[in-house]
Amino acid sequence: MVTPDSRGRRKAALVAFSALLLPLLFAVGSAQAAPEGAQARGPIVIGHRGSAGYRPEHTAASYELAVRLGADYIEPDLVPTKDGQLVSRHENEIGGTTDVAGRPEFAARKTTKTIDGRSVTGWFTEDFTLAELKTLRAVERLPAVRQRNTLYDGRYQVLTFQEIIDLAGRLSREHGRRVGVFPETKHPTYFRSIGLPLEPALIATVKRNGLDRPDGRVIVQSFEPTSLHALGKALRVPVWQAIGTSGAPYDTVANGTGPTYADMVKPAGLREISRYADWIGPDKSLVIALRADGSMGAPTALVNDAHAARLKIGPYTFRNENQFLPTDLRNGAVPTDYGRALDEYGRFLDAGVDAMVTDNPDTAVIARTEHAAG
């Protein structure tokens, strides 16, 4: 087992090295990344919105850097445009992820909507054509946490799903290894209700690109089972059920029937998920619980129960900053400083996870390499 006593000092140095020399890493790739021409051995590393810890999320720069740092998959969250094109944004509200708020030509588009039962004010992708969205530029979503990422504000366009597939193909050729794509349908019940269903466009794009195969080049994910049922019936790709910490998927809420997240992580719920999915993606606190003081507790039964149901498991979201880490793995009191993230990965690798969804792919790759070496 990887312990703070045995490797803590060396791991802290590696994290600091990654943060300080990131521009060099961007140029030459991570020394710990999967070898050229090879596929990952051990748990797969999924670049959450690319490499969101280092570049504004869902941008070409974020995805490209994720692969340079060793990510096996890149993840786009998918939402539609007014003209039915799938684009990659964390949410359909784009006031915090693009420069739309400073564009006077779109000032009148600001509005308030109810999304999955919540009132949200801002600018929404479904009110813009793709051509209009292409005039906007991405900005860092968490500027108070990742101030260095603001250096890249205003430089990158909003990407379509097709552009991300094309990018994954190019990066696969450049790096001599397969780069997978891991799309998530965002708010599918809401978009279905306004006549912009996500599933038909996603299905058509996967098939058009020759990616409708069960070999894992594409893994589709959602928090809503009804979306996954539709995708699983139409595609042969692996299916990933995302699981939150409380409440229920919005399709359960909207339909008045269906599983809660608590239902999903019980053995019977996992067996039901295995009827339509190949993976579960729980919040990481469902795999290793936190104590009342926020420190890391003991692993739950979820990994073993998922494997017993013949499901693979990939928790989310791993991040390097103190504020996202258990209290006992933080270095100092500054929320944005890096903590002992490698120790956290080690605990999850010991628990037997099959994937790690991360904002910092290089840190995950280092942890995977160290864990494999014993």
Count the helix, strand and coil residues of the chain and give each as a percent rounded to the nearest 5. Answer: 40, 15, 40
Residue type, 348: F
Please choose, from the candidates 51, 157, 42, 147, the residue with its C-alpha nearest in 3D space to the C-alpha of residue 97: 157
Please choose, from the candidates 60, 38, 27, 40, the residue with its C-alpha nearest in 3D space to the C-alpha of residue 365: 40
Domains in the chain: boundaries: 4-373
User: What is 4-373's CATH number?
Assistant: 3.20.20.190
Distance (Å, rounded) from C-alpha 43 to C-alpha 345?
11
pTM: 0.89
Instruction: Show pLDDT as tens, one digit a residue, over the chain (374 residues).
Output: 444 444 444 444 444 444 444 433 333 333 333 433 344 578 999 999 999 999 999 999 999 999 999 999 999 999 999 999 999 999 999 999 999 999 999 999 999 999 999 999 999 999 999 999 999 999 999 999 999 999 999 999 999 999 999 999 999 999 999 999 999 999 999 999 999 999 999 999 999 999 999 998 999 999 999 999 999 999 999 999 999 999 999 999 999 999 999 999 999 999 999 999 999 999 999 999 999 999 999 999 999 999 999 999 999 999 999 999 999 999 999 999 999 999 999 999 999 999 999 999 999 999 999 999 98
Q: Is 76 helix (H, G, I), strand (E, B) or coil?
A: coil
pLDDT on residue 374: 87
pLDDT on residue 40: 52
Please choose, from the candidates 81, 115, 79, 84, the residue with its C-alpha nearest in 3D space to the C-alpha of residue 250: 115
What is the separation of C-alpha 196 from the centre of its chain, rounded to a whole number of angstroms? Answer: 23
pLDDT on residue 71: 98
